[in-house]
């Protein structure tokens, strides 16, 4: 497929894009808002640097990078785009003092030619920084037409994604050739980009920005206070973070096995998407477990068996309340989510077999002894119970998680250097 054919197909499918937004807005009202931004209709000002950070995870990784660039270059203006309401909320929270001044924020338009051209014609960025994997053929093509430098930062490329790019070489290779620099996370991913024809001199192995996670002391203190308030200081607490439909019942069944040995144990279950909060609540009560919802500030009394983490921006703190974490999106064919947040909080971690989006990070944690790959509710429950019943093994796993995070810090400075080279 060529970019021309891709563009035609997007025009033909554009009515489905409207249906998609309508469908998402049924479960998540935020998708009913700001449609003008998604079609490039919102009026914007010129900005020197465009940063696209997709959703909440990529945005949280991008924030320290953006702040460092802003501090180093007070003469530059920025526009930060996302595609999800959760990512948008993080941008607003992090840059509220600068919004509509040095920093603009909007959703990135859909990759329909007319929408992207209208957007870029207004913004006219000198530099485009795209986070992780969010490469869009028309965005890259028209940005390059305007002579913008393009950097793929904190870049990830799984074997599965590389195979897809190879199958669509007519579309992907011109897009990859247009990139001026790639700050890639691992050597293995560097090799995958090279196998797709990217020139080695364009690629720098920098590590993942997510290793440079900074955790405020207040988060630890807040977590400690909550656990004490719940009267769970001396009983097991574990978190199932970023879980998806298809995993809710697995988590709850695993927790029932933990409860059989530790009747006062608490599971904190945090669904990945807000539109799944109510589904998770219903599933919990259907399993016969007592539930408290964090969004409603319901008391976590002695009889509560599951705390539903149905809020946004609190997952890191909730990890701090726990002894152990499971990372969702890995027992279904999703690709998984970042295991570094619980690791940075000093927790042993487990994931399912479908963790290809974070394969290298997962392997680092496995090799160090901080992470276990499980397959179902039985192996998950057994792993939790084994750690609870062997304090020495638990301590070794917790220290291993912290050590992996500590030893791999430094990506932020390396990636800023890659970007600086494109600004000079």
> Which tokens in the block code for residue 322?
């726990």
Q: What is the pLDDT of residues 387-396, one digit of tens each?
A: 999 999 999 9
pTM over 0.85: no
pLDDT greater than 90 at residue 262: yes
For residues 243, 237, 220, 224, the Cα torsion angle rounded to the nearest 10 degrees is: 140
Domain positions in the chain are 20-208+409-423, 217-407
**With the C-alpha atoms ordered 330, 331, 332, 333, is the resulting torsion angle positive or negative?**
positive
Give the pLDDT of residue 217: 86
Buried b (16+ CB within 10 A) or exposed e, 119-138: bbeebbbbbbbbbbebbbbb
User: Please, what is the average pLDDT of the chain?
Assistant: 94
What span, in angstroms and rounded, lies between the C-alpha atoms of 291 and 322?
17
Q: CA angle at residue 12 from 128 to 121, to 5 degrees? A: 30
Q: Which residue among 37, 58, 90, 314 is the active-site one?
A: 58
Q: What percent of the chain has pLDDT over 90?
A: 83
Q: How many helices and strands (H and E) does the chain possess?
A: 18, 14
Q: What is the pLDDT of residues 12-50, one digit of tens each?
A: 988 888 888 888 887 778 888 899 999 999 999 999 999
> How many of the other CB atoms lie within 10 Å of CB of 249?
14
pLDDT greater than 90 at residue 280: yes
pLDDT greater than 80 at residue 100: no
- Residue 333 among the catalytic residues: no
User: DSSP character for 99?
Assistant: B
% helix, strand, coil for the chain, step of 5: 55, 15, 30
**With the C-alpha atoms ordered 111, 114, 120, 123, is the resulting torsion angle positive or negative?**
negative
Residue 316 CA from chain centroid, whole number: 12
Buried b (16+ CB within 10 A) or exposed e, 15-44: eeeeeeeeebeeebeebeeeeebbbbebeb
Model confidence at 65, in pLDDT bands (50, 70, 90)?
very high
What span, in angstroms and rounded, lies between the C-alpha atoms of 193 and 203?
8
Burial class (CB in 10 A: 0-12, 13-18, 19+), 185: buried
- What is the rounded average pLDDT of the residues 102-127? 96
Which CATH number is 217-407's, of 3.30.70.260, 3.40.1160.10, 3.40.50.2000, 1.10.3720.10? 3.40.50.2000
Bridge partners (DSSP) of residue 52 are 81, 130
Q: What is the pLDDT of residues 358-406, one digit of tens each?
A: 988 999 999 999 999 999 999 999 999 999 999 999 999 999 999 999 9
Task: Say whether 217-407 and 20-208+409-423 share the same fold.
Answer: yes
Of the candidates 265, 268, 262, which has an alpha carbon nearest to the alpha carbon of residue 307?
A: 268
Of the candidates 102, 170, 179, 67, which has an alpha carbon nearest to the alpha carbon of residue 134?
A: 179
Give the pLDDT of residue 210: 86
Q: What is the CATH number of domain 20-208+409-423?
A: 3.40.50.11720
């Amino acid at each position: 497929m060529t970019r021309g054919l891709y563009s035609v197909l997007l025009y033909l499918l554009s009515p489905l894009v409207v249906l998609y937004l309508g469908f998402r807005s049924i479960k998540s009202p935020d998708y009913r808002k700001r449609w003008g931004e998604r079609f490039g209709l919102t009026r914007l000002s010129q900005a020197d640097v465009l940063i696209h950070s997709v959703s909440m995870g990529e945005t949280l990784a991008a924030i320290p990078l953006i702040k460092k660039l802003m501090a180093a270059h007070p003469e530059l203006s920025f526009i930060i785009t996302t595609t999800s309401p959760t990512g948008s909320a993080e941008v607003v929270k992090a840059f509220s003092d600068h919004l509509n001044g040095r920093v603009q924020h909007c959703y990135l338009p859909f990759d329909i030619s007319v929408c992207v051209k209208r957007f870029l014609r207004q913004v006219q960025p000198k530099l485009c920084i795209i986070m992780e994997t969010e490469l869009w053929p028309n965005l890259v093509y028209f940005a390059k037409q305007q002579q913008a430098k393009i950097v793929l930062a904190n870049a990830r490329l799984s074997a599965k994604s590389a195979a897809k790019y190879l199958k669509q070489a007519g579309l992907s290779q011109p897009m990859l050739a247009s990139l001026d620099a790639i700050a890639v996370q691992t050597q293995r991913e560097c090799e995958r980009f090279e196998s797709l024809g990217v020139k080695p001199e364009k690629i720098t192995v920098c590590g993942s920005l997510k290793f440079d996670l900074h955790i405020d002391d207040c988060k630890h203190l807040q977590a400690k206070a909550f656990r004490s308030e719940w009267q769970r200081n001396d009983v097991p607490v574990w978190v199932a973070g970023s879980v998806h439909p298809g995993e809710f019942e697995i988590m709850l069944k695993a927790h029932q096995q933990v409860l059989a040995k530790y009747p006062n144990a608490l599971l904190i279950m945090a669904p990945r998407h807000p539109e799944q909060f109510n589904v998770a609540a219903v599933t919990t009560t259907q399993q016969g477990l007592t539930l408290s919802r964090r969004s409603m500030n319901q008391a976590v009394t002695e009889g509560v068996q599951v705390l539903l983490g149905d809020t946004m921006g609190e997952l890191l703190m909730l990890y701090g309340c726990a002894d152990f974490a499971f990372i969702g999106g890995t027992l279904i064919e999703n690709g998984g989510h970042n295991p570094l947040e619980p690791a940075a909080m000093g927790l042993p971690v487990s994931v399912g077999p479908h963790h290809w989006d974070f394969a290298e990070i997962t392997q680092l944690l496995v090799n160090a002894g901080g992470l276990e790959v499980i397959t179902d509710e039985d192996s998950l429950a057994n792993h939790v119970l084994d750690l609870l019943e062997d304090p020495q093994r638990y301590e070794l796993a917790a220290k291993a998680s912290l050590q992996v995070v500590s030893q791999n810090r430094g990506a932020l400075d390396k990636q800023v250097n890659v970007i600086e080279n494109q600004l000079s």
